[in-house]
A and B are shown apart, each in its own frame.
Chain A
Amino acid sequence: MSEAMMDTRPAAVKPKQATILEAINAALADAMADDDTVLVLGEDVADPEEGGVVGVTKGLSTRFGDKRVRSTPIAEQAIIGAAIGASLVGYKPVAEIMLMNFTTVAMDMIVNHAAKLRYMSGGQTHVPIVIRTMTGTGMSSGGQHSDYLEAWFAHTAGMKVVAPSNPADAYGLMRAAIDDPDPVLFIENLPNYWLKGDAAEAGHVVPLGKARIAQDGRDITIVSYSRTLTETLSALKAIEQAGISAEIIDLRTLSPWDEDTVLASVAKTGRLLVAHEAVEKHGLGAEIAAVASNRLFGKLKAPVARLGAPYTPVPFSKSLEDAYAPNAKRIAETVIAICKQQD
């Protein structure tokens, strides 16, 4: 059967396809077109510098001008400081910190200032900025270009943290993040930039703080996000072949996270695995596991489990890097092992 024959939907209804990279670019462009106060700044973001090292901001400076889309020096404190200051006087800056590891250079601006100014000023000021940053293993980038550091930011009161796993969510979460009144860290996965999926309609918004049930199931809840969610979906076949029905939750917003959706699911399945690419120890999974264990103690059929990276920096060598982040095979094995711990 040809592809055209398999698709029974009328051509006009078939959703357009987009990559995550294209979805983020479209969200930025649509937000800038809808609202003159939206700005973009960061290293190489303007078109003379090729719209970013991966091209996420390509076309924006040509379309909206180099006043609203500004390439910056390699100076992360200056980038976030400029975003914070402009946000205090009515603008909505989207600042790119090229790689998540580079946020370390701007931690004072992010943690001491962006996250806290609303509280410390008693609500007189607030910091509606988005900090876009990419990361992820799989590109042989080694110890300083691939870390998932989301737990640091989720642990900082006042920050919001978002990590989409597909193009439509990437678009909708970016639109929500730009219009959110508080600082949002927006985590983009580098290898998944070219992952294709249904494109969002223009103006599509995914509210922050709402998880998505990516797959209904009965026996176990798997909570994940970003690229590990993609791996979890890839693990589904092996899990089903073992006779297990898994419910998969794409957390999407990591802070504040959607306790209601996760707890309702775990109450139904009785089992929980939290899987993420970040180091497992002290990771986001610990918070979710603690809340689920505390709230659902007595209703659980198996101990709550976590699956993350080992307690090491990200290694360079391919054999070691491949063993670092949870992949579909390890997720399936872990799920099967949890479900075998019967009564």
Chain B
Amino acid sequence: MADNLGPDGETLLGIYRRAALLKANDERSRKVITTGRLMMPYYSYRGQEIIPSALCASLTDEDYLVTIYRGIHDMLAKGMPLNDLWAEIAGRTGGTCKGKGGPMHLTYPKKGIMVTTGIVGSSMPIANGLAWGAQLSGDGRVAVATFGDGASNIGAFHEALNLAAVWKLPVVFVCQNNLYGEHTTYEKATAAKRVADRAVSYDIPGVRVDGNDPVEMYRASREAVDRARAGEGPTLIEAMTFRFHGHVFGDADGYMDKAQKAAAVAADPVPRLRARLIAEGIADEARLTAIEAEIDAAIDAAVEHALASPLPGLAELTTDVYGEAA
């Protein structure tokens, strides 16, 4: 890969800003659940923060994102405001979906966050449609579908990659391979040695990168997004990572290899990037501490905003089933 695709210092700092926000937001979400302030199904993304943080450095607000139930990191990285996010996961009227979507269906078109699906494999066919719209309009937008390694075994993955290839759609498929599909290991569930190799079947580029490495992840995303924007078609990125808190928060993760998990947690990518910024002189301790304090304050305010927002009135129950015919 050409060196001019690597992130400069400012870009790396931007990736850290996002990653620090994502990490702090996940920690707060788990705390809010364990202290009983909120009840919701929560799919922790802790450990996977670098992937969307680096990916979104190459996307604009106009680009489209379709993500999944383990996707709050993707949305925050794409720019979903904290207040709207928190009010939604609290089921309040001020939420991005008026409290009617919840954590698995957050939507925020103003930042291109078009669909969040709770169905494994369903992000990809819809991202194709967004990309088709961009292709027809010639507006240069790119659509990104994120999903897990488990989704690469579902038919929709294969249907979507094939269609994207034959229609040469401006779409990037980002597989966040955290080595587990629910409770089952990658090796037990997936015949291909690498998800990226599946791109060969569709004659599109497929790259496996260390998704926890901001430089590798940034370069791969940048190249894929540039290709899509230039009308050269789709790319499959397999970003290797690990989830620290099991499938759904609260599961005992007895199915996970303890040594593997301990090693992954010890190599936590967010503090690693932080140390790197200091070591390379991109930012000093004081600046990073200030950024983190700012993030904490914004999350504090969002949580309080959410919990103070009213629950939807019962009239909401039956609205938004249909729109008004023109």
Q: Which residues of A contact B (CB under 8 A)?
A: 39, 67-68, 70, 72-73, 75-78, 80-91, 93, 108-109, 112-113, 117-126, 157-158, 160, 176, 179-182, 207-208, 256
Q: Is the Cβ of A124 less than 8 Å from the Cβ of B163?
A: no
Known A81-B156, A181-B325, A182-B322; contact A86-B133, beta-carbon cutoff 8 A: yes
Q: Is the Cβ of B119 less than 8 Å from the Cβ of A118?
A: no
Q: Is the Cβ of B326 less than 8 Å from the Cβ of A181?
A: yes
Interface of B is mostly: mixed
What is the CA–CA distance of A39 and B129 in the complex, to the nearest angstrom? 12
Distance (Å) between the CB of B141 and the closest chain A CB? Answer: 8
Q: Is the Cβ of A84 less than 8 Å from the Cβ of B107?
A: no
Q: Is the Cβ of A86 less than 8 Å from the Cβ of B321?
A: no
What is the CA–CA distance of A125 and B321 in the complex, to the nearest angstrom? 12
Q: Is the Cβ of A208 less than 8 Å from the Cβ of B159?
A: no
Of all chain B residues, the one with the shortest Cβ separation from A37 is B136
Could you name 16 residue pairs across A and B whose Cβ atoms are closer than 8 Å?
A76-B159, A78-B125, A78-B159, A81-B122, A81-B129, A84-B126, A85-B128, A85-B130, A88-B115, A91-B136, A109-B126, A112-B119, A118-B323, A121-B107, A157-B321, A208-B325
Give the residue among A73, A85, A89 with the most B Cβ atoms within 10 A: A85
Distance (Å) between the CB of B64 and the closest chain A CB? Answer: 7
Q: Which residues of A contact B47 (CB under 8 A)?
A: none
Of all chain A residues, the one with the shortest Cβ separation from B120 is A108
Q: Which residues of A contact B125 (CB under 8 A)?
A: 77-78, 80-82, 84-85, 109
Does B12 reach chain A (CB closer than 8 Å)?
A: no
Distance (Å) between the CB of A301 and the closest chain B CB? Answer: 34
Contact of B99 among A89, A122, A125 (CB under 8 A): A122
Q: Is the Cβ of B117 less than 8 Å from the Cβ of A113?
A: yes
Contact of B107 among A78, A120, A158 (CB under 8 A): A120
What is the CA–CA distance of A86 and B105 in the complex, to the nearest angstrom? 19
Q: Which residues of A contact B323 (CB under 8 A)?
A: 118, 123, 126, 181-182
Q: Is the Cβ of A180 less than 8 Å from the Cβ of B97?
A: no
Distance (Å) between the CB of B285 and the closest chain A CB? Answer: 41
Of all chain A residues, the one with the shortest Cβ separation from B157 is A77
What is the CA–CA distance of A93 and B122 in the complex, to the nearest angstrom? 19
Of all chain A residues, the one with the shortest Cβ separation from B322 is A182
Q: Is the Cβ of B124 less than 8 Å from the Cβ of A81?
A: yes
Known A84-B126, A120-B105, A122-B95; contact A73-B319, beta-carbon cutoff 8 A: no
Q: Is the Cβ of A121 less than 8 Å from the Cβ of B159?
A: no
Of all chain A residues, the one with the shortest Cβ separation from B124 is A81
Given contacts A75-B159, A75-B162, 4 further A-B contacts (CB under 8 A): A85-B126, A124-B107, A125-B115, A160-B322
Q: Is the Cβ of A89 less than 8 Å from the Cβ of B133?
A: yes
Q: How many residues of B contact A (CB 8 A)?
A: 49
Segment 74-129 of B: residues with Cβ below 8 Å from A: 95-101, 105, 107-109, 114-115, 117-119, 122, 124-129
Q: Is the Cβ of A125 less than 8 Å from the Cβ of B163?
A: no
Q: Is the Cβ of B163 less than 8 Å from the Cβ of A72?
A: yes
Distance (Å) between the CB of B306 and the closest chain A CB? Answer: 15
Distance (Å) between the CB of A48 and the closest chain B CB? Answer: 14
Known A75-B159, A81-B125; contact A119-B320, beta-carbon cutoff 8 A: yes
What is the CA–CA distance of A122 and B96 in the complex, to the nearest angstrom? 7
Q: Which residues of B contact A80 (CB under 8 A)?
A: 125
Q: Is the Cβ of A122 less than 8 Å from the Cβ of B159?
A: no
Does B166 reach chain A (CB closer than 8 Å)?
A: yes
Known A84-B126, A85-B132, A108-B156; contact A124-B108, beta-carbon cutoff 8 A: yes
Q: Is the Cβ of A113 less than 8 Å from the Cβ of B126?
A: yes
Does B174 reach chain A (CB closer than 8 Å)?
A: no
Q: Is the Cβ of A122 less than 8 Å from the Cβ of B320?
A: yes
Of all chain A residues, the one with the shortest Cβ separation from B123 is A81
Q: Which residues of B contact A125 (CB under 8 A)?
A: 107, 109, 114-115
Q: Which residues of A contact B119 (CB under 8 A)?
A: 108, 112-113
Q: Which residues of A contact B126 (CB under 8 A)?
A: 81, 84-85, 88, 109, 113
Does B143 reach chain A (CB closer than 8 Å)?
A: yes
Q: Which residues of A contact B239 (CB under 8 A)?
A: none
Does B160 reach chain A (CB closer than 8 Å)?
A: yes
Does B324 reach chain A (CB closer than 8 Å)?
A: yes
Distance (Å) between the CB of B45 and the closest chain A CB? Answer: 20
Give the residue among B119, B125, B127, B129 with the most A Cβ atoms within 10 A: B129
Q: Which residues of B contact A83 (CB under 8 A)?
A: 129
Does B167 reach chain A (CB closer than 8 Å)?
A: yes
Q: Which residues of A contact B156 (CB under 8 A)?
A: 77-78, 81, 108
Distance (Å) between the CB of B135 and the closest chain A CB? Answer: 8
Q: Which residues of A contact B319 (CB under 8 A)?
A: 123
Of all chain B residues, the one with the shortest Cβ separation from A68 is B136
Known A77-B156, A84-B126, A118-B321; contact A90-B133, beta-carbon cutoff 8 A: yes
Contact of A78 among B143, B162, B324 (CB under 8 A): B162
Q: Which residues of B contact A117 (CB under 8 A)?
A: 107, 115
Q: Which residues of B contact A91 (CB under 8 A)?
A: 133, 136
Q: Is the Cβ of B129 less than 8 Å from the Cβ of A84?
A: yes
Does B273 reach chain A (CB closer than 8 Å)?
A: no
What is the CA–CA distance of A109 and B154 in the complex, to the nearest angstrom? 13
Q: Which residues of B contact A121 (CB under 8 A)?
A: 97, 100-101, 105, 107, 320
Q: Which residues of B contact A70 (CB under 8 A)?
A: 167
